[in-house]
């Protein structure tokens, strides 16, 4: 597996990259930032292969947590063709992560050189060798090594120290096995950076692991309850993300798991994170909700692009709101950004980098503080936007101290931009007679064919079609979110606009 950066923003650490060199799909390339589709038990939750083909490109890249496919290990070993073939997703690029980051994992039961996986049939203590045996049976294209990520915001210094010590030792063993495995030698390998919210342990872990022979890093150990990730704020994680990113090589893949608030995702992209997953789409579905936050493509800069679809308005008024919404520039794009979430590109024009704004691999000197620029974005009007656009390439402001006390204006702006609500519940009685799509502008199969009222009825009668329809919409919505992130990083140099 190879990863190369093809565009680096001048104003932030956001970048565009390409994952390629996958042995099973030599001509396929994935454009980052990207969200791999979260799966459970080897399938996209609620969606069969047939439905995936009807609603999406069934070759979407998937992330399968070892924790929720461990039950199939023996059968997949007999099957011999790997987990994705076993579960009907053989054309998908397959990232095997370690823990199921969309559930609450009660851990605290790790032993000296073993880590607890909570499988469907209970706790399973595994060491580096048995984990690598699993990887050899599952045959992923990319996997995260075994580590101890049993830390969250409340973890003690002792716990974070232990998680780092154990993870470093597990990484060494896994890397050794990886090098010597004939099955896995072409498989991409990601190290899990641990250390909870302890800056000192994060630094130690990142420093040590940055020297390992791996293709990239997962910044892990930020939560143990995947169901509550959406409530963790960017301010909570910023110090440890920053210190981790500072100690990792710029040119390698960086991943963060979990169902983060869209706001946090955007800020992580601007800090240089490349790889995410769609667990938010899944968790929203399980709650009976539809994602409805608005994040349009733009070449303009406005703090007002973040809107949610009001749930109680009529179809026509919503359409008006959306079409009159500021900064929606939906001009068709001719590059790889528009090819859906996973961007299958087979040729790079003329061997040149696809994005020519800046040549890659030069060390990024600017640590521009994203928050800082927001002041200049307030009260956007056409003239301002144009001015900004012309100024854009020159943006190279020196970094400000990150934890500057926010002014009232900034606080107000922050809350205005924040996705305090990024979904709406279809269980709510107010949608009972809303014979309009989940999102009148959405082009997913659910929105093209079904109404809010129908999904409300399906939820009320506990029918299995409700989560099918919601999952289709939410996954589509999340894919579009990332398509637009790539667009905006290219055109605005950042995702958080």
Partner 1 sequence: MFDSALSFEVLAKCGTSKARTSLMTLPHYTVETPMFMPVGTKGTMKGLLPDQLKTLDCQIILGNTYHLGLQPGSELLEKVGGLHNFMGWDRALLTDSGGFQMVSLLKFAEITEEGVKFQSPNGDKECMLTPERSIEIQNAIGADIIMQLDDVVPTLEKGQRVVEASERTIRWLDRCLVAHKRPKEQSIFPIVQGSLIPNLRIKNAEELVKRNTNGYAIGGLSGGEAKDDFWKIVKLSADHLPEDKPRYCMGVGWAVDLVICCALGVDLFDCVFPTRTARFGCGLVKSGQINLRQKAFEFDMEPIDPECDCSTCKTYTRAYIHSIISAETVACHLLSVHNLAFQMRLMRSIRESIKQNRFPEFVKDFMRINYPDGQFPLWIVESLSSVNITLDR
Residue ranges of the binding site for Zn(2+): 442, 444, 447, 473
Q: Does 326 bind partner 1 (CB under 8 A)?
A: no
Least distance in angstroms from the C-beta of 132 to partner 1? 22
Q: Does 122 bind partner 1 (CB under 8 A)?
A: no
Least distance in angstroms from the C-beta of 478 to partner 1? 19
Neighbours of 329 (CB within 10 A): 12
Question: How many residues contact partner 1, by CB under 8 A?
Answer: 40
Determine which residue in the list 28, 46, 114, 494 makes contact with partner 1, applying CB under 8 A: 46
Determine which residue in the list 17, 42, 221, 226 makes contact with partner 1, applying CB under 8 A: 42
Q: Does 75 bind partner 1 (CB under 8 A)?
A: yes
Determine which residue in the list 26, 27, 74, 129 makes contact with partner 1, applying CB under 8 A: 74
Comparing CB distances to partner 1, the nearer of 3 and 56 is 56
Tokens of residue 312, six digits = 């109680």
Tokens of residue 351, six digits = 């061997």
Least distance in angstroms from the C-beta of 346 to partner 1? 25
Least distance in angstroms from the C-beta of 277 to partner 1? 18
Q: Does 430 bind partner 1 (CB under 8 A)?
A: no
Q: Does 40 bind partner 1 (CB under 8 A)?
A: yes
Determine which residue in the list 17, 33, 45, 82 makes contact with partner 1, applying CB under 8 A: 45
Comparing CB distances to partner 1, the nearer of 41 and 249 is 41
The residues, any chain, with a CB within 8 Å of residue 43's CB and separated by 6 or more, are: 87, 88, 89
Neighbours of 401 (CB within 10 A): 8
Q: What are the beta bridge partners of residue 276?
A: 35
Write phi, then psi, for 332 (nearest 5 degrees). Answer: -65, 145
Long-range pairs for 303-310 at CB < 8 Å and ≥24 separation? Answer: 303/374, 303/377, 303/378, 303/380, 303/413, 303/416, 303/417, 303/497, 304/380, 304/416, 305/497, 306/416, 306/417, 306/418, 306/419, 308/419, 308/421, 308/422, 308/424, 309/424, 309/439, 309/440
Among residues 191, 188, 105, 107, the alpha carbon closest in space to that of 147 is found at: 191
Among residues 241, 179, 284, 475, the alpha carbon closest in space to that of 370 is found at: 241
How far apart CA 290 and CA 285 sit, in angstroms, is: 7
Q: Does 453 bind partner 1 (CB under 8 A)?
A: yes
Least distance in angstroms from the C-beta of 449 to partner 1? 5
Least distance in angstroms from the C-beta of 316 to partner 1? 17
Q: Does 25 bind partner 1 (CB under 8 A)?
A: no
Tokens of residue 237, six digits = 């994680």
Task: Give the binding range for partner 1 (CB under 8 A) out of 50-58, 232-240, 315-323, 387-395.
Answer: 50-58
Q: Does 78 bind partner 1 (CB under 8 A)?
A: yes
Q: Chain centroid to CA 129: how far? A: 28
- To the nearest 10°, report the CA torsion of 258, 68, 214, 351: -70
Q: Is the link from the previous residue into 33 a cis peptide, with omega within 30 of 0?
A: yes
Task: Give the binding range for partner 1 (CB under 8 A) out of 7-15, 22-30, 397-405, 450-458.
Answer: 450-458
Q: Does 38 bind partner 1 (CB under 8 A)?
A: no
Q: Does 377 bind partner 1 (CB under 8 A)?
A: no
Determine which residue in the list 21, 88, 239, 325 makes contact with partner 1, applying CB under 8 A: 88
Q: Which ranges of 334-402 does DSSP label H, i.e. alpha helix? A: 370-377, 382-391
> What residues make contact with partner 1 under the rule CB under 8 A?
40-43, 45-51, 54, 71-72, 74-75, 78-79, 86-88, 120, 432-433, 435, 445, 449-451, 453-454, 457-458, 460-461, 463-465, 467-468
């Amino acid at each position: 597996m190879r990863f190369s950066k093809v565009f680096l923003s001048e104003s932030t650490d956001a970048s565009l990259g390409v994952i390629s060199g996958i042995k099973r799909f030599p001509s396929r390339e994935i454009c980052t930032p990207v969200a791999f589709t979260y799966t459970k038990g080897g399938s996209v939750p609620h969606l069969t292969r047939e439905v995936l083909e009807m609603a999406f490109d069934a070759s979407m890249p998937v992330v399968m947590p070892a924790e929720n496919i461990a039950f199939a290990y023996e059968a997949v070993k007999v099957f011999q063709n790997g987990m994705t073939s076993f579960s009907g997703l053989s054309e998908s690029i397959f990232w095997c992560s370690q823990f199921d980051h969309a559930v609450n994992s009660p851990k605290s039961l790790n032993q000296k050189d073993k880590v607890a996986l909570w499988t469907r049939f209970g706790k399973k203590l595994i060491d580096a060798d048995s984990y690598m045996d699993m990887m050899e049976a599952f045959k992923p294209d990319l996997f995260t090594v075994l580590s101890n990520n049993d830390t969250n915001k409340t973890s003690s210094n002792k716990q974070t120290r232990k998680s780092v010590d154990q993870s470093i030792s597990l990484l060494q063993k896994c890397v050794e096995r990886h090098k010597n495995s004939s099955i896995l030698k072409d498989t991409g390998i990601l190290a899990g950076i641990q250390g909870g919210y302890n800056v000192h342990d994060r630094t130690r872990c990142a420093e040590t692991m940055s020297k390992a022979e791996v293709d990239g890093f997962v910044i892990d150990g930020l939560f143990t309850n995947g169901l509550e990730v959406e409530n963790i704020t960017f301010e909570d994680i910023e110090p440890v993300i920053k210190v981790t990113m500072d100690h990792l090589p710029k040119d390698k893949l960086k991943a963060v798991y979990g169902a983060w608030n869209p706001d946090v995702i955007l800020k992580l992209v601007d800090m240089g994170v490349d790889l995410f997953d769609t667990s938010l789409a899944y968790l929203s579905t399980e709650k009976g909700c539809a994602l409805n936050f608005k994040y349009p493509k733009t070449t303009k800069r406005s703090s007002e692009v973040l809107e949610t679809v009001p749930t109680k308005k009529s179809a026509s008024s919503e359409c008006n709101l959306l079409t009159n919404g500021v900064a929606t520039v939906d001009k068709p794009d001719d590059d790889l950004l528009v090819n859906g979430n996973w961007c299958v590109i087979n040729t790079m024009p003329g061997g040149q980098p696809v994005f020519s704004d800046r040549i890659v691999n030069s060390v990024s000197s600017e640590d521009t503080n994203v928050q800082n620029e927001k002041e200049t974005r307030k009260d956007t009007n056409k003239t301002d936007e144009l001015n900004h656009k012309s100024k854009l390439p020159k943006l190279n402001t020196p970094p400000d101290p990150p934890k500057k006390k926010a002014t009232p204006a900034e606080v107000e702006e922050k809350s205005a931009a924040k996705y305090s609500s990024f979904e709406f519940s279809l269980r709510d009685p107010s949608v009972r007679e809303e014979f309009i799509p989940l999102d009148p502008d959405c082009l997913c199969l659910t929105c093209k064919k079904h109404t809010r009222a129908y999904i409300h009825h399906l939820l009320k009668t506990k029918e299995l079609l409700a989560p099918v329809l919601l999952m289709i919409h939410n996954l589509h919505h999340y894919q579009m979110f990332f398509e637009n992130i790539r667009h905006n990083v290219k055109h605005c140099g950042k995702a958080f606009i």
